[in-house]
Structure 1
Amino acid sequence: MTSLDKIYNHSFTLEMGDDLSTKDIDKENYTELEYYVNNTQFYFVHFLSLLSQLDNAVSLLNNFSYNKKNKISRGDHLTYNVENYMIRVVSVTDRLLQFINMAFYLKVDESKVNYKKIIDNPKIKNSTLETLYLELKQILNHYYNDRNSVVHRHSYANKELYRLQALYHTTLTERYIERNSAEEVKKLKYVRSQALKKFTEKVKLQFTETNEACFGIILQMLDILHEEYNSNKEKL
Structure 2
Amino acid sequence: MTSIKMSVNVVALLAIAWLCQQTCRAQSDVSASADHLIPPVTEDAQDAAYHKIMREKLFVTPANYGRILIIPSGVEGETSIALYSEATPARGIEFRITCTKAQKNIWFATSESSPKRSENPEIRVARYDATVPRTAIEAVHDALKKEIERRKPLEPIGKAYVDGTAIEFALPRSGGKTAVGIFGPATQGPRMSQLVRLTKALTRYCMSPSNRSMLVGQVEDIARSLR
Give 1 or 2: higher helix fraction: 1
Shared topology, TM-score over 0.5?
no
For normalisation by structure 2, the TM-score amounts to: 0.25
For normalisation by structure 1, the TM-score amounts to: 0.25
Q: With CA pairs under 8 Å and 6+ residues apart, which has the higher RCO, 1 or 2?
A: 1
